[in-house]
Structure 1
Amino acid sequence: MNYIAVSEATYLDGYRISLTFNTGESGEVDLGDLIHRYAIAEPLRNPQNFARFYLDSWPTLAWECGFDVAPESLYARATGKLFPLPQPSNSPL
């Protein structure tokens, strides 16, 4: 598999979301630190607004205010592992 995507997301409480990835792996993330770090996420500091996420075309978590989180970042937070990105080939063209 050459990419990571969120296949399922369920709101838990506060700033916590349960995620399942296209690899079959799953885990929980707490995004409170990100929500309080970025001005664009200010509307999401209200947990009712935070709970209104959707999966965008990547697919990854996104909100109507324009805030989203890269699927690779979510994967690392949920599983404690980095997703291995494809490496360029060293063969000549």
Structure 2
Amino acid sequence: MKLKQIEQIEGYRFTLTFESGEVIQTDLKDLISSFVAEDALQTARIDPDWACLEFNQGFADIEPKTLYRYACEASHHQQAA
């Protein structure tokens, strides 16, 4: 499972596209706000070697499987609410 594309929507909300073609919109605040300040969110990029989402030139990163699992769970909770 690799991350192929990211787009910041607003604040900690991102659209994530995975290699499977699945596109998930999710709020990453609970996952990364302890490590990434809101004013550093524009540093988001996909690491070319590991396909993980990273911030602050790699100071903080999220492994693609962890990101996918978090995004799916968060999306499921939003749909159930």
Alignment of 1:13-28 (within 5 A): 13-28=10-25
Query: How high is the sequence identity, in percent, across the aligned residues?
Result: 30
Counterpart of 1:79 in structure 2 is 72
Structure richer in helix, relative to its length: 2
CA RMSD of aligned residues (A): 1.6
- The structure that has the greater radius of gyration is 1
Alignment of 1:36-55 (within 5 A): 36-37=33-34, 41=35, 44-45=36-37, 47-55=38-46
TM-score by length of 1: 0.66
Structure richer in strand, relative to its length: 2
| TM superposition outliers: structure 1 runs of 4+ over 3 Å | none
Structure 1 residue ranges without an equivalent (≥5): 81-93
- The reply on whether 1:12 has 2:9 as its aligned counterpart is yes
Q: Report the count of equivalent residues.
A: 71
Structure 2 SS opposite 1:51? helix
Deviation at 1:20, TM superposition (A): 0.5
Aligned partners of 1:22, 1:65: CA distance in 2, in Å? 21
TM-score by length of 2: 0.75
